Amino acid sequence: MKRILLIGTGGTIASRQTGEGLAPGIPASGLLSSLGGTGNIQVDSRELLALDSTNITPEHWLMIAGCVEENYDIYDGFVITHGTDTLAYTAAALSYLIRKSPKPIILTGAQRPIGYDSTDSKDNLRDAILAASSDMPGVAIVFDHRVILGTRAKKTRSKSYSAFESINYPELGVIRDGELVVFIRQESGEKPEFSTKLNTKVALLKLIPGTGREVLDFLFECNDAVVIESFGVGGLPEAGGFFECVEEWKKKGRTAVLTTQVENEGSDLAVYHVGSRLKRDLKVLEAYDMTTEAVVAKLMWVLSQTKTATEVERLFYTPVAMDMFPR
């Protein structure tokens, strides 16, 4: 019999209606009780957090990874219930904090609470437990009967049950009629590799037409790295001193990463003049086909290990959990 640990962190799946809207209030054990049984799979529960996922921070990512590490030798797989709004960030972060796991580490949640008559909670939780009891390795999100790689997930719908998409990568599998069909298996090792640190001094700037350099200067001043979500395949405005801004802060040891606001197909700084000299002359890092969630989490992980520019570049461009296609 497979033994699974359900780790509760809150979210809509565990929420009750209050006078001020939905708020987490159902423990992990209550989620299990709502299923009315898990067949021949033994599921134990642990209530780690009870948070709306808007309140989740990198400190909580470390707590979740620590809980998995603490119990790793006891269980065959793990299910983490989590709010959907920052679920993709947590899945990406856990992909770097827990690498090459031969056991499944499955995140799930819901768009409607488990106590509602019409809810996706029970299906998602049952599917997640099924996936966690399989031999599918690594970190993944199970939602709406689909299995999505932890580093490739993005929430693309705010209310629909089909809330998540796999960005620039195929889905790992699907659950059909209570059976897990696996299309792609992540790479794994004999044992997982755990990390226990993150550098949270990573900022994200979403460019809009007319953004001023002073915004970017401020973010660089306060952080060790800034991810810039640019337009199209990537670039920075030629007016306003953006090029000089990045150049000055790189000399001070800061890391700059260019990505795109476009969800699919990724960046390509070499295409246009507004991007090519950033890559050629300033050697800024480029996210290519990575999701913004993965870029942010990976930088936190990389910068917790080194701030040396060449080593940051090497680690950033080294694929982890299939987060980018090799360059």
Look at residue 137 in the predicted model and tell me its pLDDT: 98
Are the C-beta atoms of 197 and 304 separated by less than 8 Å?
yes
Question: Quick count: other Cβ atoms within 10 Å of Cβ 73?
Answer: 8
Low-confidence ranges of the chain (pLDDT < 50): none
- What is the biggest distance separating any 2 CA atoms in the chain, rounded to whole angstroms? 64
pLDDT the model gives residue 79: 98
For residue 326, the model assigns a pLDDT of 78
The pLDDT assigned to 166 comes to 98
Amino acid at 308: T
Do domains 3-194 and 202-317 share one topology? The answer is yes
* pLDDT for the residue numbered 19: 92
Which one from 12, 84, 90, 259 is the annotated catalytic residue?
12
3-state secondary structure 213-260: HHHHHHHHHHCCEEEEEECCCCCCCCCCCHHHHHHHHHHCCCEEEEEE
Taking the domains of the chain in order of start, what are their residue ranges? 3-194, 202-317
CATH class of domain segment(s) 3-194: alpha beta
Q: What are 54's two structure tokens?
A: 């808007």
Is pTM beyond 0.95? Reply is: yes
Cβ(286)–Cβ(269) below 8 Å: yes
Q: Is 12 a catalytic residue?
A: yes
Which CATH architecture fits 202-317? 3-Layer(aba) Sandwich (3.40)
Supply the pLDDT for residue 58: 98
Structure tokens at 215: 């915004």
What does the pLDDT read at residue 23? 95
pLDDT at residue 25 in the model: 95
